[in-house]
Amino acid sequence: GAGVSQSPSNKVTEKGKDVELRCDPISGHTALYWYRQSLGQGLEFLIYFQGNSAPDKSGLPSDRFSAERTGGSVSTLTIQRTQQEDSAVYLCASTRGLAFSSYEQYFGPGTRLTVT
């Protein structure tokens, strides 16, 4: 498809386990963002990638959260030792890059993470 895809769509995990969430951006989009949507905190920025580099990680809530991007395409968000407060919908967005206008971020459908 032509849009941003994310997998899995739903993930239920036990507290203390590690999880990996995947994002496939639109082909050719060099900029990639992760956001988190939760009841208590609303929609929060987590991390920004330009190519494979992450110049802005300021939104990652703790060192249990990490992300990488390979080949300037797929990105993986990893949460180690999950806690119940990590339960949220994790959204990925991509855009052509800041050399172009940044106004059009295309969002994926999200991964709903439930930590029991």
Partner 1 sequence: GEDVEQSLFLSVREGDSSVINCTYTDSSSTYLYWYKQEPGAGLQLLTYIFSNMDMKQDQRLTVLLNKKDKHLSLRIADTQTGDSAIYFCAETPGSSNTGKLIFGQGTTLQVKP
| Chain positions contacting partner 1, by CB under 8 A | 4, 31, 33, 35, 42-45, 48, 50, 55-56, 59, 91, 93, 95, 98, 102-110
Cβ closer to partner 1: 82 or 93?
A: 93
**Dihedrals phi, psi of 36, to nearest 5 degrees:** -130, 135
CA distances, 99 to each of 8, 31, 50, 69 (Å): 31, 10, 11, 20
Closer of 34 and 82 to partner 1 (Cβ): 34
Polymer length in residues for the chain: 116
Nearer to partner 1, 8 or 55 (CB): 55
